[in-house]
Structure 1
Amino acid sequence: MITGPLASAITAAPRPHDRDRAAEIETLFADLPEAPRTLLAGTAGCSGFLDGLMRREADWLRAALDQPPERAFGEILAAVEAEDGGPLGTRLRVAKRRAALLTALADLGGVWPVLKVTQTLTDLADRAVDLALRGLVAEEIARGKLRVDPAETGATAGMFALAMGKMGAGELNYSSDIDLIVMFDETRHDPDDYGDVRKVFIRVTQRLVKLLSEITAEGYVFRVDLRLRPDPSVTPVCIATDPAENYYESVGRTWERAAFIKARPCAGAIDAGWAFLERLRPFIWRRHLDFASIQDAHDMRLRIREHKKLTGPLQILGHDVKLGRGGIREIEFFTQTRQLITGGRDAGLRQRDTLGALEALTAKGWVEPATAAALSDAYLAHRALEHRLQMLDDAQTHRMPATEEGLARLVDFCAADPARFESELLDRFRSVHELTEPFFAPGGAPPEPPEVAFADPEAAEATIQGWTRLPALRSDRARELFRRLLPRILTQIGKSASPDQALNLFDGFLKVQPAGVQLFSLMEANPKVLDLIVDVCGSTPELARYLGRNAGVLDAVLSRDFYRPLRGAADLRHELAGRLAEIEDYESALDFARIWTKERRFRIGVHLLRGIASSEEAGDAYSAVAEAVLAAVLPVVTRDFASRHGLPPGAGAVVVAMGKLGSREMTASSDLDLIVIYDAEGAESSEGRRPLPVSTYYARFTQAIIAALSAPMSEGILYEVDMRLRPSGRQGPLATSLASFAAYQEEQAWTWEHLALTRARVVAGPHLLAERVGEAIDAALTRAHDPEKVLADVRDMRRRLAEAKEAAAADPWEVKLGPGRMMDIELLAQAGALLRGLSRLHRPRRMLSRLARVGWLTGPEAAALEAAHAAFATTQQILRLASDRTRDPAEMGRGLVDLLLAATDEPDLDALRARLAASAEAADAIIRRKLGGGEAAAEAGG
C-alpha cells in the first residue's frame, strides 16, 4: 500500500509517441513536479483516450496525485454512494472514468503492480453492480410491482448476481466487459407469485444492463455480458436457482464447470448466491480424478483457435495476446484444467485467481515449480501488455497492432527497448506454448516395440512414444510394471483383426487413466483382463471408450459370474436395493449405484462382443439394469427428499418407462425416457420440516430423481434422462397427477402421444399406485380411436419425419430413420395396437405378431416387418458398441465388422447392406399399403 502521495511514488513513464499532444499536456500541468508531469505527458503522447480523460478531469487529477492512490480510489467509491451527487447512472460513469484514469497512471507509473490494478477495477465493478441492482429492485418494491417485505426476503428480494470470469477472480482487465449470471432465489417468494416475480427480475436485469452499458455524455460504466447463463439462446436474462441447478446437473458441460471455478456472488442477496454455489459444488468439483477434462479443454482451445483464425506461424503483428499461441488463455486453461482434475478431492486447489491456483497446484505437486514460476511471470507480463493495448483507445482488444506504426506506438507506451521488444515477446509466447502444450498433447521417447504389422508404422510409433508421458505412467512403479506388460500388450494388439484401431483405442484407454500402478498390477496378475481390454479395443470403439472412462469395472471381470447368463430385472432390483439399504449417506448410495451399474453395463457389452448374448438378449439386459436402478434408487431419493419436505403426500409417485426402456430394447448408448405420475389423494401439501404444496413437492421430487440419475458425481452419472414424453411435453409440469394424466389422455393427447404410450410401463414406485397407473394407460390405449384420424396422423408424421431426416435417411447404415426402417415399422405397429385396443405388449415386434393374430396384418406382412425390424435392431445394437452415432461399419475396424457379420449371419458388408435395403423396401411397401389414404385408411383401420 502506498502511504505517500501518488505523485511521489512514480518510478516509470511511457515515452511520448505524439510529441505535440504530450507538449500540450505538459503545459496544462506545468504546475506539477517533474515525475508526474513526465508521466502525464508520456501517457498523453501515446493514448488519445487517456489524454482526453486528463483534460476532462484536470482538477480532480491534481487532487488525486496529491494523495495515496488507495485513498483517491476510496473517495471515488464514496462519491458513488453519495445520493446527493446526482442520478446513480451519472455517479457511476464519473466514478468509472476517474478510476480508469487513476488505475492507468498507477500502472504506467510503476506505482501499482498489475494484480493491484485488476483488483481495483474489480472492486469498482462489484460496487457498481451492487448499487445498481439494489437501487433497481428498491424501485420495483416502491412501485408495488414486487410485493415483498425486505425484512423477510432481504433488500433485493433474493435477487443476486454472480461475477464470472475475470471479474469473479478479481482479475478484470483495463477495458474488460463484466460477465454476470443474474439469478433469484425463488424460495423466498410465494410459489403462486413465481411468474410475476420472474417478470420483475427480468425487467430489473434488462434495466441493469442498460444502466451500466449505455454510452451517454458521461461515458459508460461497464459492458455487461450475460451469455454465461444456462443455455443463453433460450433462457431469460434472469433465472431462478432451481431450473439453473437442474440444467447444470443434467446437461452442464466441462467449459461451464471451468467457468464456475471463478464464480462468486458480487451483488444483491450474497447469501443466496453462496448457497447456490454450494449446491452446485458437486457439478463443479468431481471427487474422482477427472482426466477427461484435459481433452475437453484441448478441444476447446483448438475450436477457439480455429474460430478466431489464430492458426499459422507465430508473429507479433496482429497476434492475440489472450487467445493466441502462448497467450493468457493457454495459462488459464493449463491451470483451470488441472484444478478440475484434482480440485474435487482437494478443496485447497479451488482458488479463483490464476496465480493463486498455480501456487496451490505447485505446493501439492501437480505442477513443477520451474513451470509454475515461468508461467506466473509470463502471466503478469501478458496482463501488463494487455492493459497497455486497451489503454490506447479504451478498446476491448487483445490484438497486437497490425501495422509497424501501431507497434512503434505500443513500444513507446511500454517504454520498451525497440531493438528487443519483438524478440523478447516472441520468446515469451513460445515459452508459454512449449510449457503448456505437452499437458494437452503429450509426447515422449518410445520403448522399443516388438514387430507388429501396423498399416501405418510411423503413426504407431508416435502413439507408443506418447505413452511414456501419460499420467498413468507418472510413477517409477507404474513405468516398471508397464515395461513388463508392453510385449504382451503389443502381441495381443498384433493378433487383433484391426491392429491400428486396437492400438489407437488402447492408446485412448491409457490416456484417460489417472494412475497406473493398480491397473497395471491387475493386468499383470490376471492376463485375461489385459486380453479382454485389447479385445474390446480391437472390436468395439464405443465400449473401449466406455472402458477407458470407467476402468474400475475391470474388477468385475474377476468375479466368478462375469461370463454366466445375464440376469433379469427382478434379480437385479433385489440385489441393488439390498446393497443400497446398507448405505446411510445419500451421495455414497448414489455413488455405489453408479459403480454397480457401470460394471453390469460393461458386462453386457462384453457378452455381446464375445457372442455370449444375442442383440435381443443384450437389449433385455441393458433395460433390466436400468429398471433395477430406477426401482432401487427411487426409495433412496424418497428418503432423502422426505427428510426435508416430508413423505410423499397421498399415494406417492411412480416412474413410467417410455421409449426403449419401456419396450426393453435399450442399447449401450440409450438414455431413459421417463414420466412421473403421482396421486396426492386430496392432500394439499406435504408435512415435513419445510412443507411444500403438492404440485411443487412432486415437481421438485421429480427434479431430485433426475438429479440422482443424471448429476455427475465421483463415479459419473447413471443415465441421461429425457422427460419430454410427459403430458404437454416441455410445457407441462415435470410430475403429473394421475387424474390430470387420465384426463389429458382422454381429452387432449395427440395421436403421437398415444402411440408412444403403447410402450409405457410402470417400473418403480408403490405397487398399488402402479396398478392404478397401469389401468389408466390401458384405458387410454383401449378406448375407441378414429381409424381415419389415427392413420392420417401417422401418414403426416411419416411425411414430416421424412422431410426433417432426409439427409440421415440417405445413409444406408442409418437403421432407425427412413422409409421402412425401425421407426417407420414401430409407428405402424403402434398405430395398429392403438386401433385394435391392444395394451401391455410394449415391444413393436410383439405388437406385430398380435396384429397378425387379430387380422389387422396378414401373416406374411407381420413376418416381413418383424424380420426387417430384427435385422435393423441387431445392426443398431452392435453398432452402438462402436459409436453413439450412425457410421459406416467399414470405418470402425475389422473386429467390429466381424462381430456385426456374425450377429447378422451375413458373409460381408455388401450383403448386409443389400439385405437391409431390401428389408426397408419391403417394409415400406407394406406400411404405405396399410396406412393408405381416404377409403384405404378406413379399410385399414378395420
Structure 2
Amino acid sequence: MFESLPPVLDDPRLPLALARARRHSPFLALLADREPAIAEAASAGRLDPALLVYDPDAPVAQALRRQRRALALHVALGDLAGVLDLTAVTAALTAFADAALDRAIRAAIAERYPDAEPAGFAAIALGKQGSGELNYSSDIDPILIFDPATLPRRAREEPEEAAVRIARRAVELLQARDGDGYVLRVDLRLRPSPEVTPIALPVGGAIAYYESQALTWERAAFIRARAAAGDIALGRRFLDAIRPFVWRRTLDFGAVGEIRALSHRIRDHHAQGQAFGPGYDLKRGRGGIREIEFFAQIHQLIHGGRDPVLRAPATRDALTELAIAGWIEVTDAEALTEAYTLLRTIEHRVQMIDDRQTHRLPMGEGLDAVARLHGLVDGAALLDRLRPAVERVGRVYDALDDSKRAGLSRDPLALGEALAARGFGDGAVAAAQRIAAWRAGLYPALRSAPARDALEAVLPTLVEAIGHAPDPQAAITRLDGMFEHMPSAINIFRLLEARPGLADLLARILAHAPPLADELARRPALIDGLIDASALDDVGDGEALVAAMRGGDVGDYQQRLDHVRRVVGETRFALGAQIVAGAADPLAVGAGYARVAEAAVRVLAEATIAEFARAHGTVPNSEFVVLALGRLGGGVLTHASDLDLVYLFTGDFHAESDGPKPLGATLYYNRLASRMTAALSVPTAAGPLYPVDTRLRPSGGQGPLAVSLDSFARYQREDAWTWEHMALTRARPVFGSEAACAATQAIIDAVLAGDRRPRDVIGDARAMRAEMTRHKPAAGPLDVKLLPGGLVDLEFALHVRQLVHHAGLDPNLGRAVERLVPAGLAPPGLPAAYRLLARLLIAMRLVASDAAEPAEATRALIARAVGCADWAAVVAELTVARQEVATWWETIA
C-alpha cells in the first residue's frame, strides 16, 4: 500500500523532529503517546514502514482508524525531519485513502450480502485524492456510482435502494469516531445536484448528466478524476465514457472565463484570508494553492483535448508538461512548482497542530507554533519565507485575467479615428461601418447578447492585429464574410480573447489567403488547430498521419469518413497557414499536402473495403490497388489539387466474391472503386475532402472504373497513347499489399523502359501542347503553370526525354529533373527553375489563385515564400526561369 514510502530509514534528524512535534503540536504529541513503537524508533533516529500494520482480525473501522493514526505520525515525523518529500507524503496519504475507501465499500457490501461479489459499486476520486496529492488532514471528495445490472441486492430490493445503503454504511465506517479517532472525512457534495440526488448514482444517469448538463467547474474537477475504490473496471468505464466531456478538441473558451470568475468568487467569499499575513488562507488566498491549481487547469482545458500528454492529474506534473509543450514559460512553471511545494508543506504544518482541515495561518502564538514546528524561529520568519512565493503566484495568475482590457468606442467618429491610428488609413471609415453592423447583430452569428459581448471582448485584439496586417481592408472584408456565413461566432471570439497571438495569424490569413478564409467561414473550429505548438511544424510522416486518421472516437463507416475529413481539413488548413506565416518552404508544404492525401487514400480504402466486404465478402486470391498519378503520384500537391487515381485489382477477373451477396470480380471491383471515389469526394457533415479524377484510367472515361492488373499491363503495352505514357511517368501505387504494389510498379517500370508500342513521342507531344495552348490559355500574367516556359512546358519536355531516353524516371518532378542534368539531357539551371515555378504555384494557389498580379501587400509574402528579396526579384527570377524552360522545350529531340 505504501510504495511511496522508503524502507527502513536511519536519519539523525528524526529525534529533533519528534521533539518539535511533542513541543509544538498537541495532535502529534498525542499520537506519539498512542503509538509508542513509532515514537521510540524515531527517538532512535529510525522510521520503519513495517509498523504501519493493518490488523485483519479487528473490525474494519477499528483497524483502519489505528492504521491511519500510525500513518499520520509516521509521515509527519518523516516530513518534519526532511526525509520524506511532499510527493512521498501525499502519495502515502492517498494510497491509504484509496485502500480505506475500498475496504469500507467491500465491508458494507459483505455485511448486507455475505455471499456476493463486491461488484457493481465504485468510487471515483476527485480533487487531491484523484491526483494523488491528498492533504495531511484532508477530506476526500468521491463520487459514488453503481451499475444496476451487477450491484448485489436482496430479493425485491431496488438497485437504487441497495446502492444508497451500501454508500451510507461505507461512509459511516470511515467517518465514525471513537477513542482511536476516525479514518477519513467524506464529502459527497461534488456529485451532480447534491441537494436532490441520492448519494450513489446509477452509472448511466451519471454519464448522461456529464455529457449534457454538467458545469464548467465540474469539467475542471474531472481533470483529476480516478477510479479509486470498489469495482475499478466500472469506474474506468464511466471515466472513459465521459472523457470527451472533459477533454474537448474544440473548446468553448467561455469555460476559461468561468474558471477565472470562480477564482474571483472564491477570493470574495474568503475575503478575510486574502491579505497576506497572519490569518492568510494558504489554499484560497490570492497567490495561494488554488490559484496554482487553476492556472494549470485552465491551460489543460485549453490544450489537453488535443494533446493527451497534458492531462497529468497532479498539479506539478501538469506544470512540467505545459512548460515542455511550450504553453507556459519555463520560469513560471519552475516558480509555481516551488511555490506549490512550499505552500502545501506549510499547509501540512498548520493541519498537524490539531488535525483540523484548515488552510489558514493562525494568529499570534499559533503562528509561532506553526513556524517552530517547521523549524523556524517565529511567525515572522515563516511569513518572510512565504511572501516571495505568494507574490509571484499572484502575479502569474493575474496575468491570465485580461478582463480589464480597454474596449473600442461606439461613437462613429471616435471609432474611425481609433481605426485610422491602428493602421486602417483611408479604409477606417468603411471598417468602422462594418464594426457597427457587427455590433447591431445584423448577422445570425452575432444576434445573441452573449455573442455580442464576446465580440466586444475580442475587438481590441482583433482590430490591433488586422491594423498591422499588410492589407487591413482585405482582411476585415473577409472577416465580415466569415461572420456572415458562420452559424455561431462565440467560440472563435473567446479563442482569440484567450490567445491574442492567434489574432495576428488570423489577420494574415484573412488578408492573404481567400481559400483558408472560406474554409474558416465554413468550419470556424479550424482555427483551434493553430493553438497547438506543433501547428506550424512539419505534419509528420505518412505513418503518423495514417495513425491519426485511423484513430478517433469512431464506431461505424460514416463516422470514419467524418473523422478522416476532420483530420485532413485541420492538417491542410495548418499547412496553408504555414505558408502565410512564412514558417515553411512551399515545396515542403506541397509534400505535406501529398502525404496527407496519401494517408487519406490508405485509411479510406481500408475502411471502404471492410464495409463493402460485409455485404459482398472478398474475392479469393485478389486485392484492390490504388495507383496515384499527376501531382499526387509526384508527391507534391497544392492546396487546390484534385487526386488523379486509377483503380486496379489483382487475380482472375473471372473469380467471384465469397460474401452473402456474391459478385463477379470485375463488377465487385468496379462497385468498390465507385464507393472509394465517393469516400474521397462526397461531402459529409464534416465537410468535403478531395475532388477525384479517374480519367487517366485505361480507355479514359469510356473504360471501366477498375481493371485487372493484367488488363492494365496489356493496355499500356499495346493500346495506350503517348499522353497516357507521359502520365505514367508520374504513376505510383499508394494502396495495396507490398506484393501487389511491387507487381504494379514492375509493369510501370517495364512500359517506361520501352515495353510498349512505338509512337512518335516528340510529334505527339508538340501537337498536344499546341492544342492545349489553343483551348486552355494562361489565366493571368502569373499563371506559372500555363504560361510559355511554365510548368506545363517543363513537364512536357521532361516526359518526352523520359520516354525517348528512358532516363530520369522518377514520379517526383524535382528529382526527375535533377537526374537528367548529369546525363546531359537538361541544362544545369533547370532544377532551380523548377523549384521556383513549383514554389510559386503552391503559394499562388493559396494567395492569388486567379494568377493575376497580387495586391501590393501579398507580394512580400510571395517573395518570402519563394526565397526572393522582394517582388522585383520574383519577377526577374521568374523571367529567367521561364526562359530556361522555354529554351529546353524548344530543343526537345
Q: Does 1:880 align with 2:845?
A: yes
Select the residue among 821, 825, 835 that pairs with 1:852. Answer: 821
Matching residue's letter, 1:881:
L
Q: Does 1:451 align with 2:451?
A: no
List gaps (5 residues or longer) in structure 1: 1-443, 932-939
Give the match for residue 127 of structure 2: none
Q: Does 1:655 align with 2:617?
A: no
State the Cα distance separating 1:799 from its structure 2 match: 1.5
Q: Does 1:497 align with 2:470?
A: yes
User: Structure 2 vs 1, CA of residues 788 and 735 (structure 1 numbering), >3 Å: closer, same or farther?
Assistant: closer
Give the match for residue 819 of structure 1: 788
Does structure 2 retain, via aligned residues, the 8 Å contact 1:658–1:674? yes
Mean Cα deviation higher: 478-487 or 445-454: 445-454
Give the match for residue 915 of structure 1: 877
Does structure 1 retain, via aligned residues, the 8 Å contact 2:579–2:865? no
Alpha-carbon separation, structure 1, partners of 2:724 and 2:759? 17
User: Structure 2 vs 1, CA of residues 532 and 879 (structure 1 numbering), >3 Å: closer, same or farther?
Assistant: same
The structure whose RCO (Cα within 8 Å, separation 6+) is larger is 1
User: Structure 2 vs 1, CA of residues 856 and 646 (structure 1 numbering), >3 Å: closer, same or farther?
Assistant: same
Matching residue's letter, 1:484:
A
Select the residue among 696, 713, 727 that pairs with 2:667. Answer: 696
State the Cα distance separating 1:647 from its structure 2 match: 2.0
Does structure 2 retain, via aligned residues, the 8 Å contact 1:656–1:760? yes
User: Structure 2 vs 1, CA of residues 648 and 611 (structure 1 numbering), >3 Å: closer, same or farther?
Assistant: farther
State the Cα distance separating 1:597 from its structure 2 match: 0.7
Alpha-carbon separation, structure 2, partners of 1:840 and 1:864? 19
Does structure 2 retain, via aligned residues, the 8 Å contact 1:569–1:628? yes
Matching residue's letter, 1:552:
A
Does structure 2 retain, via aligned residues, the 8 Å contact 1:812–1:913? no
| Partner deviation per Cα, 1:434-466 (whole Å, 9 max, x = no partner) | xxxxxxxxxx99894632324334432333233
Does structure 2 retain, via aligned residues, the 8 Å contact 1:830–1:847? no
Secondary structure at the counterpart of residue 650 of structure 1: coil
Give the match for residue 829 of structure 1: 798
Alpha-carbon separation, structure 1, partners of 2:699 and 2:493? 52
Q: Does 1:901 align with 2:859?
A: no
Give me the TM-score of the superposition, normalised by structure 2. Answer: 0.51
| Partner deviation per Cα, 1:164-198 (whole Å, 9 max, x = no partner) | xxxxxxxxxxxxxxxxxxxxxxxxxxxxxxxxxxx
Superposed, 1:379-778 pairs within 5 Å as 448=415, 450-452=418-420, 453-467=424-438, 468-577=441-550, 579=551, 583-681=554-652, 683-778=654-749
Does structure 2 retain, via aligned residues, the 8 Å contact 1:787–1:835? no
State the Cα distance separating 1:539 from its structure 2 match: 2.7
Alpha-carbon separation, structure 2, partners of 1:680 and 1:584? 32
State the Cα distance separating 1:509 from its structure 2 match: 2.2
| Partner deviation per Cα, 1:825-876 (whole Å, 9 max, x = no partner) | 011112211223247611222222212223333xxx1x22222221111111
Secondary structure at the counterpart of residue 594 of structure 1: helix
Give the match for residue 78 of structure 2: none
State the Cα distance separating 1:724 from its structure 2 match: 0.9
Alpha-carbon separation, structure 2, partners of 1:523 and 1:909? 32
Secondary structure at the counterpart of residue 469 of structure 1: coil
Give the match for residue 925 of structure 1: 887
State the Cα distance separating 1:786 from its structure 2 match: 8.1
Alpha-carbon separation, structure 2, partners of 1:649 and 1:471? 56
Secondary structure at the counterpart of residue 763 of structure 1: strand
Superposed, 1:63-102 pairs within 5 Å as none
Does structure 1 retain, via aligned residues, the 8 Å contact 2:466–2:504? no
Secondary structure at the counterpart of residue 727 of structure 1: coil
| Partner deviation per Cα, 1:474-514 (whole Å, 9 max, x = no partner) | 22111111111112211111111111111112212222221
Secondary structure at the counterpart of residue 455 of structure 1: helix
Secondary structure at the counterpart of residue 853 of structure 1: coil
Does structure 2 retain, via aligned residues, the 8 Å contact 1:474–1:515? no
Give me the TM-score of the superposition, normalised by structure 1. Answer: 0.49
Matching residue's letter, 1:714:
A
State the Cα distance separating 1:552 from its structure 2 match: 1.6
Superposed, 1:132-143 pairs within 5 Å as none
Give the match for residue 303 of structure 1: none
Secondary structure at the counterpart of residue 419 of structure 2: coil
User: Structure 2 vs 1, CA of residues 865 and 788 (structure 1 numbering), >3 Å: closer, same or farther?
Assistant: farther
Secondary structure at the counterpart of residue 627 of structure 2: strand
Alpha-carbon separation, structure 2, partners of 1:637 and 1:785? 34
Select the residue among 783, 786, 790 that pairs with 2:761. Answer: 790
Secondary structure at the counterpart of residue 655 of structure 1: strand
Alpha-carbon separation, structure 2, partners of 1:904 and 1:803? 30
State the Cα distance separating 1:880 from its structure 2 match: 1.3
State the Cα distance separating 1:923 from its structure 2 match: 1.7
Mean Cα deviation higher: 833-842 or 471-480: 833-842
Secondary structure at the counterpart of residue 697 of structure 2: coil
State the Cα distance separating 1:649 from its structure 2 match: 4.7
Superposed, 1:177-256 pairs within 5 Å as none
User: Structure 2 vs 1, CA of residues 840 and 906 (structure 1 numbering), >3 Å: closer, same or farther?
Assistant: closer
User: Structure 2 vs 1, CA of residues 629 and 727 (structure 1 numbering), >3 Å: closer, same or farther?
Assistant: same
Does structure 1 retain, via aligned residues, the 8 Å contact 2:585–2:866? no
Matching residue's letter, 1:715:
A
User: Structure 2 vs 1, CA of residues 648 and 461 (structure 1 numbering), >3 Å: closer, same or farther?
Assistant: farther
Give the match for residue 344 of structure 2: none
User: Structure 2 vs 1, CA of residues 544 and 770 (structure 1 numbering), >3 Å: closer, same or farther?
Assistant: same
Question: Cα RMSD (Å) of the superposition?
Answer: 2.3
User: Structure 2 vs 1, CA of residues 793 and 706 (structure 1 numbering), >3 Å: closer, same or farther?
Assistant: same
Give the match for residue 194 of structure 1: none
Does structure 2 retain, via aligned residues, the 8 Å contact 1:445–1:465? no
State the Cα distance separating 1:883 from its structure 2 match: 4.2
| Partner deviation per Cα, 1:644-694 (whole Å, 9 max, x = no partner) | 221245321111111111111101111111111112335432222222222
Does structure 1 retain, via aligned residues, the 8 Å contact 2:649–2:669? yes
Alpha-carbon separation, structure 2, partners of 1:563 and 1:909? 25
- Bigger Cα Rg: 2
Secondary structure at the counterpart of residue 670 of structure 1: coil
| Partner deviation per Cα, 1:694-751 (whole Å, 9 max, x = no partner) | 2221111111111111111101111111111111111111111101100000000001
State the Cα distance separating 1:574 from its structure 2 match: 3.1
Secondary structure at the counterpart of residue 744 of structure 2: helix
Alpha-carbon separation, structure 2, partners of 1:510 and 1:840? 49
User: Structure 2 vs 1, CA of residues 919 and 883 (structure 1 numbering), >3 Å: closer, same or farther?
Assistant: closer
State the Cα distance separating 1:566 from its structure 2 match: 2.9
Alpha-carbon separation, structure 2, partners of 1:550 and 1:830? 40
| Partner deviation per Cα, 1:7-27 (whole Å, 9 max, x = no partner) | xxxxxxxxxxxxxxxxxxxxx
Secondary structure at the counterpart of residue 482 of structure 2: helix
Matching residue's letter, 1:803:
R
Secondary structure at the counterpart of residue 644 of structure 2: strand
Secondary structure at the counterpart of residue 426 of structure 2: coil
Matching residue's letter, 1:463:
R
